[in-house]
């Protein structure tokens, strides 16, 4: 395994393939770097260096009981970038990984990040509050925590169905895709994944988005049942200085898998611009 150790002793697993301009991929909850297979294979074939890590507590990284918050996630990314001596990077984040990208680029990216991409991403903030009336009620995320604690294995059988839009009329369910989602989720630590629900739902990325000075591509499916577009992409684009929004009609949250051929070409067009 390829890994490095952070200052608090956490081992972070990562993949590092190819040469050329580096693209760093940030996965969603509760998955791993394996969720980027279709994108990494595509971009390494196009002459890019592709890197993806398993967030602490997820995949093959240490099953941490502490540090499962966005500030620490971003610091771990900064440590990975320093470890690999990356320059002129493109950072691409999906869902929770989009929040990680926003926090990392805002806090650590000055002079080192060329572009960023947020795909089905959680910013600005998911949970409903007086300042975010369009958000999801806290009870939704409390339900996630209860289901995870009660029977994580069964809960992770249910989540991929709306994640990939497989509950929509006419959808063809691919068991390999849902099984792979379950496999990735069960590789990680229950405590870290439990804590991460608070990190992805309650962290406010408003100020992070305002600080970002590089071009940012925001991609979102209008049938995203996990991170509803109205309270995410449509708000984020208003906060970004150099943002471009592209909405995909009928695409689900997991569109990087279900529609990889479309997403890959749009990512390439943005990166190569």
156, containing H or E segment: helix 138-158
Q: How many helices (H) and strands (E) does the chain have?
A: 11, 8
Token pair recorded at residue 227: 């991170």
Task: Look at residue 1 in the predicted model and tell me its pLDDT.
Answer: 67
Q: Sign of the CA dihedral 81, 86, 87, 93? A: negative
C-alpha torsion angle, residues 192, 194, 196, 198 (rounded to 10): -140
Answer yes or no: are the C-beta atoms of 30 and 156 closer than 8 Å. yes
Q: How far is CA 262 from CA 154, 177, 226, 251, 259, in A?
A: 31, 18, 20, 11, 6
In angstroms, the CA 136 to CA 164 distance is 19
Task: Look at residue 237 in the predicted model and tell me its pLDDT.
Answer: 98
Per-residue pLDDT of the chain (273 residues; tens, 9 = 90+): 699 999 999 999 999 999 999 999 999 999 999 999 999 999 999 999 999 999 999 999 999 999 999 999 999 999 999 999 999 999 999 999 999 999 999 999 999 999 999 999 999 999 999 999 999 999 999 999 999 999 999 999 999 999 999 999 999 999 999 999 999 999 999 999 999 999 999 999 999 999 999 999 999 999 999 999 999 999 999 999 999 999 999 999 999 999 999 999 999 999 999
Q: What CATH number did the domain enclosing 246 receive?
A: 3.40.50.1820
For the chain, the domain total comes to: 1
Q: 36 — phi, psi (to 5°)?
A: -100, 15
Q: Sign of the CA dihedral 40, 251, 185, 86? A: positive
On the CB side of 51, CA atoms within 13 Å amount to: 25
131 CA to centre of own chain: 24
Q: What is the pTM of this model?
A: 0.98
Domain encompassing residue 209: 3-272
Name the residues annotated as catalytic.
Answer: 95, 224, 253
């Amino acid at each position: 395994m390829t890994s490095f150790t952070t200052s608090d002793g956490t081992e972070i697993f990562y993949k590092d393939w190819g040469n050329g301009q580096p693209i760093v991929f940030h996965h969603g909850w509760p998955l791993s770097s394996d969720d980027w297979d279709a994108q990494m294979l595509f971009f390494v074939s196009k002459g890019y260096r592709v890197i993806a890590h398993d967030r602490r507590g997820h995949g093959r990284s240490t099953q941490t009981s502490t540090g499962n918050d966005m500030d620490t996630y971003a610091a771990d990314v900064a440590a990975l970038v320093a470890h690999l001596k990356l320059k002129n990077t493109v950072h691409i984040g999906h869902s929770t990984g989009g929040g990680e990208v926003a926090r990392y680029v805002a806090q650590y990216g000055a002079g080192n990040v060329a572009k960023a991409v947020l795909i089905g991403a959680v910013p600005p903030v998911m949970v409903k509050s007086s300042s975010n009336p369009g958000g999801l009620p806290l009870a939704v995320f409390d339900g996630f925590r209860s289901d995870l604690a009660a029977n994580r294995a069964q809960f992770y059988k249910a989540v991929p169905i709306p994640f990939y839009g497989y509950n929509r009329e006419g959808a063809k369910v691919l068991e390999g895709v849902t099984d792979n989602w379950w496999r990735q989720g069960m590789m990680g630590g229950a405590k870290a994944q439990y804590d991460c629900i608070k990190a992805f739902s309650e962290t406010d990325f408003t100020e992070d988005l305002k600080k970002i000075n590089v071009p940012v591509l925001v991609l979102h499916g209008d049938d995203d049942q996990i991170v509803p577009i109205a309270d995410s992409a449509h708000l984020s684009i208003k906060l970004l200085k150099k943002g471009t929004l592209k909405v995909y009609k009928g695409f689900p949250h997991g569109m990087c898998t279900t529609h990889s051929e479309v997403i890959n070409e749009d990512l390439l067009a943005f990166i190569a611009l």
